[in-house]
């Protein structure tokens, strides 16, 4: 009887081993099929010509690229003139940051370019240079691409309030007293939102305006029909900074410093605005909130309100989580290698303000004016 039990036990072990082997083999087969399914043919072509900005037109058809499974938001490897580059497939230059490479699809043509850069000079390519495109990471840039293509309505009736439509709100994170600092879209832009932003600013008795977007020329194009804003400007209550959107650039910092110094020398309530009150104003808000002991959660919440107001981006979605990293990344960029945490945000902001041109007295004046 004992011998029979031993034989049965050995048979059972053998069966388990066979089933395990089959399972492992099946998993390997499935993994192999997955890898095969995720393989993409390389696309070969050559440079046809370069335009005056150095953007490289190829003889590769967008139709062929798409038929091979390549899509907007895919990250590609580009082999050209003996060097390798990485770039996403996009539809416009502004789909990537300034200075970044891109593979642009325009109609049925594929271009290799740099946003605000000369790809011809950077790569040393010429007419007839061979170019090879291969997949680097499928869909790796898709969330960023979709974020840059968010759409919104320009009709007031599609929004629940004037404040949401104008992206107008007080900044009250940390030690900033509610009603001392506001942010919004541009009241002097002349678009559908401007009159609402102007009315709200008057209602809040705004005393000082930091206009991050306009030059004197662009301001004068629209302000003749906006009496309140015009009066503010003529009474030296407005500073025009004409800033671009690259918050990492030296020029951006120098101009922002002028705006903050203007704040230090004038009284609250303040209105800080660019055109949408989202990007440039968003960065300015991140700096002020950090300076005034806000938490990362508070800063993130305020930053994301613009995306909720304009585009209905909801908390808990992949897109929300992706965009919500932006304020933290901004702080990492200006922190000069210091770890970013709630405990040192004020120090990071103060060091940044000193670096871009403010002095300690001006920083203290801002703090006193908004707390």
pLDDT tens track for 259-284: 999 999 999 999 999 999 999 999 99
Say if 28 falls within a structural domain.
Answer: no
Q: Which residues of 7-46 are buried (b: 16+ CB within 10 A; e: fewer)?
A: eeeeeeeeeeeeeeeeeeeeeeeeeeeeeeeeeeeebebe
Shared domain check, 210 and 61: no
User: Which domain, by its residues, includes 195?
Assistant: 156-370
Measured CA to CA, the distance from residue 88 to residue 141 in angstroms comes to 6
Is 4 a member of any domain?
no
In this prediction, residue 223 has a pLDDT band, given cuts at 50, 70 and 90, of confident
Do 170 and 312 share a domain, yes or no? yes
| pLDDT of amino acid 38 | 64
Considering the domain architecture, whether residues 133 and 282 belong to the same structural domain is answered as no
CATH number of the domain within which 74 lies = 2.40.30.90
What is the number of other CB atoms lying within 10 angstroms of the CB of residue 204? 15
| Domains identified in the chain, total number | 2
pLDDT tens digits for range 61-75? 999 999 999 999 999
Q: Is residue 37 a part of any domain in this protein?
A: no
Task: Give a yes or no: residue 347 inside a domain.
Answer: yes
Give the end of a domain, one of 120, 147, 174. 147
In this prediction, residues 204-229 reach a mean pLDDT of 90
pLDDT of residue 267: 97
Locate 117 and state its tokens.
Answer: 């850069």
Both tokens assigned to 62: 């967008």
CATH number of the domain at 338, please: 3.90.190.10
Overall average pLDDT of the 109-127 stretch: 96
CA–CA distances in Å: residue 297 to residues 62, 162, 304: 42, 26, 11
275 occurs within a structural domain: yes
Edge-to-edge strands, sheet with 208-211: 169-170, 181-184, 270-273, 208-211, 238-240
CA dihedral (276, 207, 243, 312) in degrees, to 10, reads -20
Is the pLDDT at 14 greater than 90? The verdict is: no
Of 101, 117, 147, which marks where a domain is finished?
A: 147
User: 305 lies in a domain?
Assistant: yes
pTM for this one? 0.82
Statement to judge: residues 119 and 162 lie in one domain:
no
Mean pLDDT throughout 181-185? Answer: 98
Q: Which residues contact 320 (CB under 8 A, 6 or more apart)?
A: 304, 307, 313, 314
pLDDT at 76 over 90: yes
Tell me how far apart the alpha carbons of residues 231 and 78 are, in angstroms, rounded to a whole number. 54
Statement: residue 120 has pLDDT above 80: yes
């Amino acid at each position: 009887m004992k011998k029979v039990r031993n034989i049965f036990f050995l048979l059972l072990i053998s069966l388990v081993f066979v089933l395990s082997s089959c399972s492992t083999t099946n998993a390997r087969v499935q993994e192999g099929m997955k890898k095969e399914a995720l393989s993409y043919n390389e696309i070969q072509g050559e440079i046809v010509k370069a335009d005056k900005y150095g953007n490289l037109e190829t003889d590769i058809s967008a139709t062929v690229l798409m038929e091979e499974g390549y899509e907007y938001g895919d990250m590609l490897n580009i082999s050209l003139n003996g060097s390798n580059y990485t770039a996403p497939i996009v539809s416009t230059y502004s789909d990537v940051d300034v200075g970044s490479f891109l593979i642009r699809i325009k109609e049925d043509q594929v271009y290799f370019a740099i946003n605000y850069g000369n790809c011809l000079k950077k790569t040393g390519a010429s007419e007839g240079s061979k170019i090879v495109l291969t997949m680097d990471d499928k869909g790796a840039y898709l969330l960023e691409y979709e974020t840059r293509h968010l759409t919104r309505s320009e009709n007031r009736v599609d929004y629940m309030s004037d404040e949401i439509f104008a992206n107008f709100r007080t900044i009250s994170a940390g030690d900033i007293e509610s009603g001392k600092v506001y942010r919004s879209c541009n009241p002097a832009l002349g678009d559908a939102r401007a009159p609402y932003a102007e009315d709200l600013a008057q209602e809040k008795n705004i005393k000082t305006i930091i206009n991050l977007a306009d030059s004197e020329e662009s301001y004068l194009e629209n302000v003749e029909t906006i009496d309140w804003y015009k009066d503010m400007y003529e009474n030296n209550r407005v500073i025009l900074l004409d800033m671009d959107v690259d918050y990492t650039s030296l020029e951006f910092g120098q101009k922002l410093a002028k705006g903050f110094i203007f704040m230090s020398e004038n009284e609250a309530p303040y209105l800080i605005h660019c055109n949408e009150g989202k990007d440039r104003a968003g960065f300015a808000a991140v700096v002020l909130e950090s300076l005034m002991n806000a938490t990362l959660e508070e800063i993130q919440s305020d930053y994301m309100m613009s995306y909720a107001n304009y585009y209905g981006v909801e908390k808990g979605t992949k897109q929300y989580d992706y965009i919500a990293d932006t304020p933290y990344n901004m702080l990492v960029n200006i922190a000069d290698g210091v770890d970013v945490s709630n405990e040192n945000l004020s120090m990071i902001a103060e060091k940044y303000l000193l670096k871009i041109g403010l002095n300690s007295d001006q920083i203290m004046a801002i703090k006193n004016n908004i707390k």
